[in-house]
Chain A
């Protein structure tokens, strides 16, 4: 742009100068013309002067001539001669003057001729006078002639003058015109010069501005370039320019550092020499020049540590768009690579950590499980001796004692009770934690259930002189479906908690219906006491395990601190909520809300509406238990509850008792001699056809036992050592529960009408359907049974009762394994009984035959099974 401006400027420059020069030339020539025309005028004036002078001279010589002629005086001749010389001189001058004008010159020559003629006449006259002084006539003639001649001269001079005058006129106008032009030109010249000066001034000024601007610009450029240079230098990535030939033309400090080659050497060296794969480097820079750019081209710089770089470049061009080089940046990706590697490593570590964490979690879960297992085992182990301690303490308390003895024994009993409560709580908590706590869904009458439970507290409340109040919402549906036992447990815990912390006033159990729809009823239970209250800061933690409102509380009031934790767990496990409100020294209110399903009341057989106390007192319970110790404990417990209680030492005795007496509930031990619990129950249900509720007493609860209990028709089970409260709840539950809604399948004889003798289901379960193991089992059976059958027959025939007994005895376990009906097991046992008694019963023959038949059949069937399995294989 600037360049263009300068160019046009120069053109104007030259043009202006040319114009001025032209004007100068015009002026010069015009001036010359003016001068020349001025000269001409002067010349004309001179010619006219000389003409006039000539005429005067002619006059004066004529006068002199005439004077001489008239007077004859010689002085006239002198003057005549003088004038004549003058004329001649002037005529020469005139001739000279008119040399350049041929017309005038001719006229002047004519004039000269005329004058010469005239002079000749005058000469003749003068001569004539001097010779004949009186010849007047001739003189006159001559005079006449000379006058004519003079007249001619005069005419000629006139003509010359006229000519000159005309010339003068022309020349004067010419001169004026030229000087006019000259004036104009001069003015133009001045104007031109002025304009030129102006132009120069502006150009100069402009130039100064441009100069300043360019100066500023160049300064800025300098700064910018310095800035870019510093940027380039600051770059930690090697940055250099290369020529199309691959020669490094410039490089920054980073390049120097990376390559460890001084800059001077670097510049001018070949680019590819600094990379491990020079071929690849060459391809790289060729790509720059062919494509105009290259991006992220991986190369390795040949330095001490083989820096890995990504190579980026693009060409740069001059004004003519010609590629003159390329700028190349080699980005060091060592760091990037390192970070990448670290990231990968970190990821691996994280994965490992995750796996470890998972393992640790598993271990922790296992640990918690085993802790719970340990807790429940330990509790169980402790409970057994504790029960004996408490039981016998109670027994001793019933004997005659001194006051001191009674006091000590009471202390033992109370401590034992506290310990049992603690252990039961731990067990319950462990169960809830392990998710093993199951909730029943049985219809029950809430108002009766609560009344029965509150009855338990009467003694305690009376001891502390407190009032126990109930507020029962009459709108609550009479029959609800839920778990009354757990509900009891919750309310019991809350009330015993309140009783513990209340020294005067009352404890109120409020039961309110919150809302009700077709299917559900929400009920709020509140236990309100006037006790010591709970500090605000402790409110949030009272439901935690082993927490009491103050750590000193336990010293003062006792308790395990597990009661509320269990309450919370039980409520929440049933999708309920529990809250507490409390004011120090005023009292506390524990409230929980539970949903109960509603049921059609019609389906429920109305229980007797007689008061609970008489109800209990009229309840007859049969305890079937072989261990004397346990018999004693159960009797003590049931007496305490106010039930009537009888003991049977084994199943057989129990069955005998049941044939004569009716009982409301039977508590049945499972492991007993003569007839065990399962057998006795089966007998009661199937032979005696009694539907009296039976609660199993088991030493250790295994799922197998429970399943078997249900199978034989028991209503419930309770684990030994018996938990007082649980037993009470269960007994109450059974008394209140209409028999019709007891859920159990009454065992029906099923095996007798089947054609098959063998049932593979137990074998399948045992071996987890492992055919190899099943084959082994069947083979064992097939090997063992036939000789036993033979021995049985033989011993029977030979009346070897002992052998018969032991043979049959040995048969029994395998019967259940191959799934032979229970009927035959019983039969075999009966055979044993007869054999033991060493007597020949009338139906013994039949039984032996039946056993033979079933054994043989089973062998055939099992052989078939075995063959079938072999075929499959």
Chain B
């Protein structure tokens, strides 16, 4: 994450109604910079916009069988930009889905529902906190390595 005032979010979902509703909620409940993509391909193409967090639908190939699915997209993102946290979204309330997402290095797995926005928000807060802690830890580590020399 970069030190900017606004978090830049990528919302990726082929369900444009849900995508829109999520975007609206983000815009209304916080100061975010939002970019929305309806396919994984579009999202990957836009990675050089340097998003802070990507929220990715698990089922990107629901209709278009040839489209890249969520896990594939996640893999590609992690290959080139491993530092970007990805939160996976799915309407499926299944352990296997969750486990596979986590195995592919997703930050979290959230089931689509009316409350998913709240959960994403919490995740974002945790992310920020985590980032801060990591920075602090790094600072201490640097200091201790400096001291031990």
- Chain A interfacial positions (CB closer than 8 Å to B): 626, 671-674, 676, 700, 702, 704-705, 708, 762, 766-768, 773, 776-777, 780-781, 783-785, 787-788, 791, 803, 806-807, 809-810, 812-814, 816-818
In contact, B24 and A773 (Cβ under 8 angstroms): yes
Q: By DSSP majority rule, is chain A's interface helix, strand, loop, or mixed?
A: helix
In contact, B111 and A671 (Cβ under 8 angstroms): yes
The 8 nearest A-B residue pairs measured at CB:
A814-B17, A806-B62, A780-B20, A813-B18, A780-B16, A704-B115, A810-B62, A781-B17
Q: Which of B88-121 contact A (CB under 8 A)?
A: 91-95, 111-115, 118-119
In contact, B115 and A705 (Cβ under 8 angstroms): yes
In contact, A673 and B115 (Cβ under 8 angstroms): no
Contact pick for A768, options B17, B28, B92, B94, CB 8 Å = B28
In contact, A817 and B122 (Cβ under 8 angstroms): no
In contact, A791 and B115 (Cβ under 8 angstroms): no
Residues from chain A with Cβ under 8 Å of B118 in the complex: 702, 704
Question: CA A93 – CA B2 in complex, angstroms?
Answer: 176
Residues from chain A with Cβ under 8 Å of B61 in the complex: 806
Residues from chain B with Cβ under 8 Å of A702 in the complex: 115, 118-119
Contact pick for A817, options B14, B17, B94, B115, CB 8 Å = B17
Question: CA A355 – CA B123 in complex, angstroms?
Answer: 36
Residues from chain A with Cβ under 8 Å of B91 in the complex: 809, 812-813
In contact, A806 and B16 (Cβ under 8 angstroms): no
- Chain B interfacial positions (CB closer than 8 Å to A): 14-21, 24-25, 28, 59, 61-63, 65, 91-95, 111-115, 118-119, 122
Instruction: Using CB atoms, name the residue of chain A closest to B92.
Output: A809
Asked, given contacts A806-B63, A813-B15, whether A776 binds B93 with beta carbons under 8 Å apart, the answer is no
In contact, B112 and A813 (Cβ under 8 angstroms): yes
Q: List 5 A-B contacts (CB under 8 A).
A: A777-B17, A780-B20, A807-B63, A810-B15, A813-B112
Question: CA A781 – CA B59 in complex, angstroms?
Answer: 18
Asked, given contacts A704-B114, A766-B25, whether A673 binds B95 with beta carbons under 8 Å apart, the answer is yes
In contact, B63 and A788 (Cβ under 8 angstroms): yes
Residues from chain A with Cβ under 8 Å of B25 in the complex: 766
In contact, B18 and A814 (Cβ under 8 angstroms): yes
Question: CA A676 – CA B115 in complex, angstroms?
Answer: 14
In contact, B16 and A673 (Cβ under 8 angstroms): no
Residues from chain A with Cβ under 8 Å of B113 in the complex: 816
Question: CA A427 – CA B14 in complex, angstroms?
Answer: 41
Instruction: Using CB atoms, name the residue of chain B closest to A651.
Output: B93
Q: Tell me how far the C-beta of A757 lies from the nearest C-beta in chain B, rounded to whole angstroms.
A: 15
Residues from chain A with Cβ under 8 Å of B19 in the complex: 780
Instruction: Using CB atoms, name the residue of chain B closest to A702.
Output: B118
Residues from chain A with Cβ under 8 Å of B28 in the complex: 767-768
In contact, B93 and A766 (Cβ under 8 angstroms): no
Question: CA A704 – CA B115 in complex, angstroms?
Answer: 7
Q: Tell me how far the C-beta of A175 lies from the nearest C-beta in chain B, rounded to whole angstroms.
A: 149
Question: CA A788 – CA B62 in complex, angstroms?
Answer: 10
Question: CA A768 – CA B29 in complex, angstroms?
Answer: 11
Residues from chain B with Cβ under 8 Å of A676 in the complex: 93
Q: Tell me how far the C-beta of A17 lies from the nearest C-beta in chain B, rounded to whole angstroms.
A: 119
In contact, A813 and B95 (Cβ under 8 angstroms): no
In contact, A784 and B115 (Cβ under 8 angstroms): no
Q: Tell me how far the C-beta of B93 lies from the nearest C-beta in chain A, rounded to whole angstroms.
A: 5
Asked, given contacts A702-B115, A708-B114, A810-B62, whether A672 binds B93 with beta carbons under 8 Å apart, the answer is yes
Question: CA A766 – CA B29 in complex, angstroms?
Answer: 10
Question: CA A806 – CA B115 in complex, angstroms?
Answer: 22
Residues from chain B with Cβ under 8 Å of A704 in the complex: 114-115, 118
